[in-house]
Every structure is written in C-alpha cells, then in structure tokens.
C-alpha cells in the first residue's frame, strides 16, 4: 500500500523528492500519512478534492484484497 501511494504521488507532483509516506498499523487497520511540498499540495488534493478521492478509492480497492482497513491522511 505504501509503495502504491508513493508511486501515485510522485507521478502527480513537480517535486517528487519531497514525497514522504509513513505507515502506522493499528490492529486490523492501517493509516498512511502522505507529506508533499507545499507547492504540490494542490496537485495531490485536486479540484474539489477529486484527485485525493480517486487515490483513496484506489487504496481501498487494493486493501480489500488483504482485508484490511486503510485510511490516507494528506499533510503539508
């Protein structure tokens, strides 16, 4: 899951070196935190949040195979 988010984020931003994804596991769920450069935050969120919503949908689809609950937090 972490690699999927890194790949998608690095493909969208202008500064891929600033992309950081951290993973925290809590029982049967996982929390992924995505950090990008301030100037790339709009590219990740997208217009009306459509891009980040699509990323979360892909993440949810990938998580159903492993039967885990996954959430994504986007930070500056």
pLDDT tens for 18-74 read 999 999 998 889 999 999 999 999 999 999 999 999 999 999 999 998 888 999 999
Total structural domains within the chain: 1
Q: Which CATH number does the domain housing residue 47 bear?
A: 3.30.300.20
Statement: residue 76 has pLDDT above 80: no
DSSP, collapsed to helix, strand or coil, labels residue 15 as coil
Q: What is the mean pLDDT of residues 13-17?
A: 96
- Distances in whole angstroms, Cα of residue 70 to Cα of each of 39, 47, 65: 26, 23, 12
Nearest to 55 by CA among 38, 66, 43: 43
Q: In what order do the strands lie in the sheet with 20-26?
A: 20-26, 29-35, 69-75
pLDDT score of 28: 83
Q: For residue 67, what are the domain limits?
A: 2-75
């Amino acid at each position: 899951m972490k690699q999927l988010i890194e790949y998608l984020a690095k493909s969208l931003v202008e500064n891929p070196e600033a992309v950081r994804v951290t993973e925290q596991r809590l029982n049967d769920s996982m929390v992924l935190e995505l950090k990008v450069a301030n100037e790339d935050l709009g590219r990740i969120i997208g217009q009306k949040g459509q891009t980040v919503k699509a990323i979360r949908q892909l993440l949810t689809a990938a998580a159903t195979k492993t039967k885990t609950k996954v959430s994504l937090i986007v930070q500056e």
